[in-house]
């Protein structure tokens, strides 16, 4: 049977086309058994009729939606986790190279002086959260001859990683890697995953890159470590607070990009690809991609 899908809010021609190419019919909300929603605020999603059994959300991070998801247990919610992985991983790689190669320091200089710098070749890079973004980054790092330590929730082998550790062994990596990329989901359990104790164990040349959520790093502890030059540096696409206020110490201490790892012009195109896949799966009775588990928080 052709799935009946409501698409909103407003006109979403790329998403409508994705639904139709997957064999679905675009209908009003009252007739729908699925909803594809491209609104960014949970309160933008209208009350769901009893017929709705699936909702596709537009973002990979879903912490603002968790209250709504938990209150609607009869509906399967899916995120866009993994849909935006290649471009976010590309941004993480750019930030990592900018730090390790001394580009950040050079960009801020006004005199001819050689900054501390190195190459990625031969380095050990720890990727905390080896889901879609982390795995895409491992592929992109393939030409740099690095050793990759991947950290996942259960510690199952990750293709391309030299070794994989479960989350309960996370403490082992802080002194074992040259650089760190944070790509884990934001949950109560991962809040301030990187704090003063973790920063104290890092090597003096270590760079930390965050393309996940600002809450995963203790901002005050990071600022102190950077101010005292106890680590090599930090490159952050996400911060806590966000937006980062004018005059905040991190502007001078870290490389900041304003949450642009996922370019806006690519968002709808990648979301449309995920919508096509999940509508196809809904029609065939297959498991939907990126189902959200309210207990895990992602």
H or E segment to which residue 125 belongs: strand 124-128
Taking the chain, what is the end-to-end CA distance rounded to the nearest angstrom?
Answer: 29
Q: Which of 6, 91, 179, 213 is catalytic?
A: 213
Pairing state of beta strands 124-128 and 207-210?
A: unpaired
Q: 68 Cβ partners below 8 Å, 6+ apart?
A: 42, 45
Q: Which of 242, 248, 273, 281 is catalytic?
A: 242
Active site residue 248: no
Query: Which tokens go with 145?
Result: 């001859």
Pairing state of beta strands 147-152 and 163-166?
A: parallel
Q: Which of 117, 259, 277, 281 is catalytic?
A: 259
Distance CA 128, CA 119 (A): 21
Map residue 26 onto helix, strand or coil: strand
- DSSP annotation of 216: G
Distance CA 114, CA 121 (A): 20
Active site residue 277: no
- DSSP annotation of 186: -
Distance CA 91, CA 237 (A): 9
Distances 221 to 82, 132, 198 between C-alpha atoms, Å: 30, 28, 10
Active site residue 163: no
Rg (CA), the chain: 21
Q: 101 Cβ partners below 8 Å, 6+ apart?
A: 117, 118, 119, 120
**Alpha-carbon dihedral sign for residues 64, 297, 91, 128:** positive
Cite the active site residues.
213, 242, 259
């Amino acid at each position: 049977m052709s799935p009946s899908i409501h698409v909103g809010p407003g006109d979403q021609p790329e998403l409508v086309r994705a639904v139709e190419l997957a064999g679905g019919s675009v209908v009003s909300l009252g007739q729908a058994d699925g909803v594809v929603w491209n609104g960014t605020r949970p309160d933008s999603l209208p009350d769901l009729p009893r017929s709705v059994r699936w909702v596709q959300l537009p973002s990979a991070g879903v912490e603002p939606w968790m209250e709504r998801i938990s209150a609607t247990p009869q509906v399967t919610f899916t995120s866009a986790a993994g849909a935006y992985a290649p471009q976010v991983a590309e941004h993480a790689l750019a930030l990592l190279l900018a730090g390790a190669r001394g580009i950040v320091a050079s960009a801020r200089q006004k005199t001819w002086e050689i900054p501390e710098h190195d190459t990625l070749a031969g380095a050990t890079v720890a990727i905390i959260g080896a889901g879609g973004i982390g795995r895409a980054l491992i592929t992109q790092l393939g030409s740099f001859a690095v050793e990759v330590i991947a950290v996942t929730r259960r510690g199952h082998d990750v293709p391309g990683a030299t070794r994989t550790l479960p989350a309960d062994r996370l403490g082992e990596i802080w002194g074992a890697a040259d650089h760190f990329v944070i790509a884990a989901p934001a949950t109560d359990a991962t809040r301030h995953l990187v704090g003063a104790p973790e920063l104290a164990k890092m090597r003096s040349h270590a760079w930390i890159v965050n393309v996940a959520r600002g809450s995963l790093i203790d901002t005050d502890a990071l600022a102190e470590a950077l101010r005292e030059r106890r680590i090599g540096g930090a490159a952050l696409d996400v911060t806590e607070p966000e937006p980062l206020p004018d005059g905040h110490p991190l502007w001078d201490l870290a490389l900041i990009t304003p949450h642009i790892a996922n370019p806006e012009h690519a968002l709808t195109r990648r979301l449309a690809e995920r919508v096509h896949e999940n509508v196809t799966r809904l029609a065939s009775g297959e498991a939907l991609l990126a189902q959200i588990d309210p207990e895990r928080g992602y």
